[in-house]
Structure 1
């Protein structure tokens, strides 16, 4: 069994043992057609591990804090699904250029108070970022949560994430690519 298969097995076991916040039960996984619709709406593919989570474990509701957002359909709590949240954030960027939302950065989990865990779908490693909009400036709102989605999931499973009470005060590094990824395209 590969490391990814072992990780998916651990996530599936943990997901079955949790009652998702705001959900009566763990949602069923999405089908391939739903994944394709989501990727078409986003305009970019999901990293393979993220796609596998939705296709094999469930359509959100598991993971740290409030769990993964559903991909396309809003959860019972009424919060937008990942695709809708991404599209709304990108639309907001057009109206408020001081707070740009980077292309291909998909919010996957809500932390409360407007904070999101996001996956950089352009990154070969599927870097996980923390968006903290309670900062004074957009440049101070983005942090590196985990170098990749695998590490982020392990931190949740092992209880070693920054959000764990035992890790109170753990500092996250700023996301150094924020301005590069939000800079307007230069004219040739």
Structure 2
């Protein structure tokens, strides 16, 4: 069994036995066509591991704190699904250029108070970023939560994430690529 298969097995077992806030039950996995539908709406590919979480485990409702957002449909709590939240954030970022939303950064989990865990779908390792909009400016609102989606899932499973009480005071590094990823390239 590959490392990814072992991770998916662990995630599935944890998903069956724990319920994040606001989720009365674990949803079914998405339909096989849902990842392709999401990619068409987003305009970029989902990392294979993220697509597997949705298609093999559940359409959200597992993971740290409030759990993963559903991919395309709104959850019982009424929050938007990941694709809808991304599209909304991109639109709001166009309206307010001081707070742009980076292309390819998909919110996957809500932390409350406007904070999101987001997967950088433009990087091969699918880094997980923390968006903390309560900062004074957008440059200080983005942090590296985990260098990869794999590491983020391991932190949740192992109880080593920054959000755990035992890790109170754990500092996250600012996301150095924020301005590079949100500043339009000059046209020749």
Place the TM-score, normalised by the shorter chain, in its bin: over 0.9
Gaps of 5+ in 1: none
Q: How does 1:65-84 map to 2 (within 5 A)?
A: 65-84=65-84
Q: Which residue of the partner structure matches residue 118 of structure 2?
A: 118
Q: TM-score, normalised by structure 2?
A: 0.99
SS of the residue 1:70 aligns to: coil
Counterpart secondary structure, 1:32: coil
Structure 1: distance between partners of 2:145 and 2:155: 10
The residue correspondences of 1:84-163 to structure 2 (distance < 5 A) are: 84-163=84-163
Query: What is the DSSP-based 3-state SS (H/G/I as helix, E as strand, rest coil) of the residue aligned with 1:28?
Result: coil
User: Separation in 1 of the partners of 2:19 and 2:155?
Assistant: 19
- Describe the superposition over 1:55-82 as per-residue Cα deviations: whole angstroms up to 9, x where unpaired: 0000000000000000000001000000
User: Which residue matches 2:183?
Assistant: 183
**Superposed structure 1 runs of 4+ greater than 2 Å apart:** none
**TM-score of the superposition, structure 1-length normalised?**
0.99
Give the match for residue 56 of structure 1: 56
Residue 103 of structure 1 deviates from its aligned partner by 0.1
- The number of equivalent residue pairs is 188
- Distance, in Å, in 1 between the alignment partners of 2:60 and 2:5 is 19
Q: How does 1:35-46 map to 2 (within 5 A)?
A: 35-46=35-46
2:36 and 2:64 map into 1 onto residues whose CA distance is 26
Root-mean-square deviation (Å): 0.6
Aligned to 1:30: 30
SS of match in other structure, 2:49: helix
Q: What is aligned with 1:10?
A: 10
Shift of residue 36 of structure 1?
Answer: 1.2
Secondary structure, counterpart of 2:187 in structure 1 = coil
CA contact (8 A) 1:20 1:26 kept: no
3-state SS of paired residue (2:13): helix
Q: 1:143 is paired with a residue of what secondary structure?
A: strand
Q: Unmatched 5+ residue regions in structure 2?
A: none
What do the CA deviations read for 1:122-176 (whole angstroms, capped 9, x no partner)? 0010000000000000000000000000000000000000000000000000000
Map Cα deviations across residues 27-64 of structure 1 (whole Å, 9 max, x no partner): 00002211111110000110000000000000000000
